[in-house]
Structures are given as structure tokens and as C-alpha cells.
A and B are shown apart, each in its own frame.
Chain A
């Protein structure tokens, strides 16, 4: 499927979809959305790229090694930020009681650790869906390579 219209339109649209997904992730504590919704939007932009070009072009943009590294790294990032609450003398995922400055309400960098938590969730969800896409549509040889 090598259509000029589909390739041109997806090349135009994919950066805006990714920008919107990053907006939804970064403003997850101020507006509707958050890590899961933004990660799903970013992943759907990569799925659109892989469908409109071919799978090899998509794999060159985001390889399987990078994707599985991001998938594990998102979960470990969440865990490390949660454990920082215990390190600073309070509960798991403690925000204000661990001494984090909450900032001005309504600003982008407010709410303490919630910004970083939704960043980790977004990376995890996006890379999980991209990995699912490549392993389900990859064919016989790459479907059971790892994971």
C-alpha cells in the first residue's frame, strides 16, 4: 500500500498528534487527560506512521530495543519516584509530606510529583501500545522474538 496521498497527509498530521499527546500528558494535573490518555494518543500517532509508511520505516524511527527500554523505564521511573517519598521520611508516593514544594495552583510546575508521575505513565503506555502494534503486525519471524 504505497499511496502518495496517505503518506503526505500522515507526514503532515503525525507531529500535531504527537504535540497534542504531549500536551495531554504534561497538563494532566490541570486539565482533563493525563498519562494514560496522552500515552494512547502518542502511540496512535506512531501506529498511524507505521500503517501509512511500512513497518520497516516505523521500526527505524522507534526500534524494538528502544521501545522495550522505554516500557521498563517508565515503570521503574514511577517506582523510583514513589520510593523517594519513603526516602524523605513519609509514605510511598508521598507528595507534600515528603517536603516537595507544591507551587502555585494553575501553573505547569505545580502539584509536586504528579507531573513526573504522569510523564512516567505516558512513556509506559505509549511504548506498550507501540510494542503491541509491532509484535502483532510484524509477521511470523518477529512476533515471538522477545517479551
Chain B
């Protein structure tokens, strides 16, 4: 019913989401969130939404990561 690749991607997403919420270093959280966005783009593609996958890969992994890093560099790094 659920393929091996689906299982791997979804479990990676769950682990990434938990780690982003629990980690104390904000830059590490941003990098893990970029990995989350990239895997989420693959999941959107497998769900049959290539439009959303393209936007997620450009925005989630590219622009949002940089904007978070710029915001962190103007404030402090630890939570």
C-alpha cells in the first residue's frame, strides 16, 4: 500500500520537524528546515503537484532559508 520510498521520505519529514522544534541552536534549525523543505518538494511531486513542488523548492529551500539567516544575523544566535 505504501512504498518504501514514501515511508523513508515521510519518516525523514517527521524526524526533521521534531528536531527543528527541539534544537536550541537557531542556525542548525534553519539548515534542518531547508532539508525539510527540499524533501517536502519531492513529496509534493510524488503527490502529483509539480506546481507546488517547484515553488517549494525555490522558496522553501532558497529564499526562506536566506531570510531566516539574515534575521538571525541581526539578532542573537541561541534561543
The size of the chain A interface, using a CB distance under 8 A, is 17
Q: Number of residue pairs across A and B with beta carbons under 8 Å?
A: 39
Interface residues of B (CB under 8 A from A): 50-51, 54-55, 58-59, 62-63, 66-67, 70-71, 74
Q: Which of A29-51 contact B (CB under 8 A)?
A: 32-34, 36-37, 40-41, 43-44, 47, 51
Which residues from chain B contact A133 at a C-beta distance below 8 Å? 63, 66-67, 70
Residues of A near B63 (CB, < 8 A) are: 40, 43-44, 47, 129, 133
Q: Which among A33, A44, A137 is the interface contact of B70 at CB below 8 angstroms?
A: A137
B49 — nearest CB in chain A belongs to which residue? A32
A21: nearest chain-B partner, CB-CB: B58
**What are 27 contact pairs spanning A and B, CB under 8 A?**
A32-B50, A32-B51, A32-B54, A33-B50, A34-B51, A36-B55, A37-B54, A37-B55, A40-B55, A40-B58, A40-B59, A40-B62, A40-B63, A41-B54, A43-B63, A44-B62, A47-B62, A47-B63, A51-B66, A129-B63, A132-B67, A133-B63, A133-B66, A133-B67, A136-B67, A136-B70, A136-B74
